[in-house]
Amino acid sequence: MKYTLKYGYLLAIGILFAFSSAPMAKRKIMADKALSTVTYSAKHPLHKWEGVSKDVNCAIIYNDETKQPENVAVSIKVSSFDSDNNNRDSHAMEVLEGLKYPNVTFVSSDIKAGENGTLTAKGTLTFHGVAKPITLEATRKDAGGKMTLTGEFPVSMTDHNIERPSLMGLKTEDAMTLKFDVVFGL
């Protein structure tokens, strides 16, 4: 009986070590806020401008076996965008109803890897309280233990029930562009 107990303990310890040293297949990774940005650009007949958010809240589920992201969730506060013009930023908060709809979000559980580091993510963009399906293309670069995802996509203000701002009687273009540069530590 002593031998059975002794070998039983050794077997249990061996199994414990065998499973504890195996890497987790999937894990949640948060974006590095110090290195990540999301930028919007908009056009008016008289000028163009950009607003940058450095407060990017983004998480991915990363599969260590396939070395690919499988899910992504992004949330950015409308108030975090800075265009270097306080009047413009205040007006944007008013037009976008930033108190009523404080966040822009994107969620996807359908991410496919392509050639040359491309990723395609089909998901839902929620902006100004309106959720729309969207497909995003991203370029992935790995270096120094970090994965960087970059890309851009158009967003229609009209599709999201946003009244286009005007200046001197002229409205801005309907299409804005959102660009992202998000960094994750692997």
Rounded CA separation 13/84 (Å): 60
The C-alpha atoms of residue 137 and residue 150 are separated, in whole angstroms, by 9
Residue 31 lies in a domain: yes
Instruction: Tell me the CATH number at 33.
Output: 2.40.128.110
Q: What integer is the mean pLDDT of 118-133?
A: 97
Q: Dump strand ranges (E) for 78-156.
A: 103-113, 118-127, 130-143, 146-156
Task: Give me the number of domains the chain comprises.
Answer: 1
**pLDDT score recorded for residue 78:** 96
Has residue 16 got a pLDDT over 80?
Answer: no
Q: Is residue 17 part of a domain?
A: no
pLDDT, position 168: 87
Mean pLDDT of 21-35: 85
- 159, with CB counted inside 10 A (0-12, 13-18, 19+), is middle
Q: How far is CA 7 from CA 2, 10, 11, in A?
A: 9, 5, 6
Contacts of 45 (CB under 8 A, 6+ apart): 170
- Determine if residue 12 is left, alpha or beta; phi over 0 gives left, psi from -120 to 50 gives alpha, anything else beta: alpha
* Per-residue pLDDT tens over the stretch 94-123: 999 999 999 999 999 999 999 999 999 999
Q: Identify the top-confidence range among 10-19, 48-57, 167-176.
A: 48-57
pLDDT digit string, tens, across residues 132-169:
999 999 999 999 999 999 999 999 999 999 999 888 88
> According to the model, what pLDDT value does residue 15 have?
55
Residue 121 lies in a domain: yes
Q: Is pLDDT at 7 greater than 90 in this prediction?
A: no
Determine, yes or no, domain membership for 179: yes
User: 87 in a domain, yes or no?
Assistant: yes
Q: What is the pTM of this model?
A: 0.84
pLDDT of residue 17: 54
Question: Is residue 110 included in any domain, yes or no?
Answer: yes
Tens of pLDDT, residues 30-79 = 999 999 999 999 999 989 999 999 999 999 999 999 999 999 999 999 99
Smallest CA-to-CA distance from 103 within 57, 163, 67, 36 is with: 57
Task: Give the pLDDT of residue 21.
Answer: 47
pLDDT at 167: 83
Q: Which structure tokens are listed for 26?
A: 């999937």
| Within a domain: 69 | yes
Question: Residue 68 in contact with residue 83, Cβ under 8 Å?
Answer: no
- The answer to whether residue 3 sits within a structural domain is no
Q: How do strand 170-171 and strand 118-127 relate by DSSP bridges?
A: unpaired
Residue 129: per-residue pLDDT: 97
Residue range of the domain that includes 58: 26-185
Mean pLDDT of 4-24: 52
